[in-house]
Amino acid sequence: MTKLNTTDTPTPDNQKKTTVLGVGNLLLSDEGVGVHVVKRLMGMALPPEVEVIDGGVSGLGLMNIVARADHLIVIDAVRAGGPPGSIYRFGSEDLTAHPDTYKMSVHEIGILEVLNLSRFVGQTPKTTIIGVEPKSMEMGMDLSPEIQAKVPRVIELILDELRHSN
């Protein structure tokens, strides 16, 4: 089967790569929590095999990033009905992979679909999703104070995840 090969230069040491990927829309307040978190993470000292990516609002454009990771940690807003600021941790296998809406809209692609497509072409990074229940999705470039207050906890969880990953 065709393997997805996205490396343009061979990795010299074949080191396992962990990618922390924050996704979301920075213009819709708490929807952008994943990006706010990784921006803060970018200023921290992390092991060299860890790559931190601001995935922004990209969908399939994240294919290159997902496909080159061995362990993928996705940070995103997740609406699961808990109180705002609830933090969830789960694997991609815990989510309904293709909601019913697919019947009418098979093509447009978000992070879960990218993970599925990646699996389809035979490249599946071990995936952990850390989600935060948003409070506001209104237009705005700042997080709600309640969500902002959770950012350090999310970072702690990511660092935990990285420690277990090695």
Partner 1 sequence: MGKRIVIDPMTRIEGHLKIEVEVENGKVKDAWSSGTMARGFEALLRGKDPRDAPYVTSRICGVCYSVHQLTSARALDDAFGAKVPWGGTLLRNLAMGAQYIYDHVLHFYQLSALDYLDIMAVAKYKGRDKDLLAVKDKIVGLVKAKDTFPLTPRYKPDAFCVKDPDIVISAVKHYIDALSMHAKARNMGAIFGGRTPHYQSIVVGGFTQYPDINMVARFRTMLDEQAKFINEVYIPDVLAFGTGPLFPLAKIGLGGGHYNYLAYGALEKDPAGKDLVFPAGAIMGLDPKAIRVQRFDQKKITESVKYAWYNQDKPQHPYNGKQEFDLDQRDAYSFVKAPRYNGKPMEVGPLARMLIAKNPTLIGLVKQGVKPGAVARHAARAIETKLVMDACYKWCDDLLSAMTKPGFKIHDTAHWDPPQKGMGAGFYEAPRGALGHWVKIKNKKIDNYQCVVPSTWNASPRDEQNVRGQYEESLIGVPVPDPDNPLNVVRVIRSFDPCLACAIHLIHPKTNEIRKFTVQ
Binding of residue 84 to partner 1 (CB under 8 A) = no
Q: Which of residues 125-164 bind partner 1 (CB under 8 A)?
A: 129-131, 134, 137, 139-141, 157
Q: Any idea which residue has 């990511």 for tokens? A: 158
For residue 135, the Cα-to-chain-centroid distance in whole angstroms is 19
Q: Shortest gap between Cβ of 96 and partner 1 (angstroms)?
A: 4
Token digits of residue 81: 């009905």
Q: Which of residues 31-60 bind partner 1 (CB under 8 A)?
A: 31, 54-60
Q: Shortest gap between Cβ of 58 and partner 1 (angstroms)?
A: 4
Cα torsion at 140, 95, 103, 107 (round to 10°)? 60
User: Rounded CA gap, 61 and 154, in Å?
Assistant: 25
Element (H, E) at 111: helix 111-120
Considering only 82, 149, 152, 166, the residue that binds partner 1 (CB under 8 A) is 82
Considering only 105, 145, 163, 164, the residue that binds partner 1 (CB under 8 A) is 105
Q: Assess contact for 125 and 70: CB atoms under 8 A.
A: yes
- Binding map of partner 1 across residues 107-126, x = CB under 8 A, - = no contact: xxxxxxx--xx--xx-----
Q: At what angle do helices 151-165 and 33-42 cross, to 10 degrees?
A: 60
Q: What residues pair up with 15 in beta bridges, in sequence order? A: none
Considering only 28, 46, 151, 159, the residue that binds partner 1 (CB under 8 A) is 28
Residues near partner 1 (CB under 8 A) are 1-2, 4-6, 8, 23-28, 31, 54-64, 67, 76-82, 86-90, 94-113, 116-117, 120-121, 129-131, 134, 137, 139-141, 157
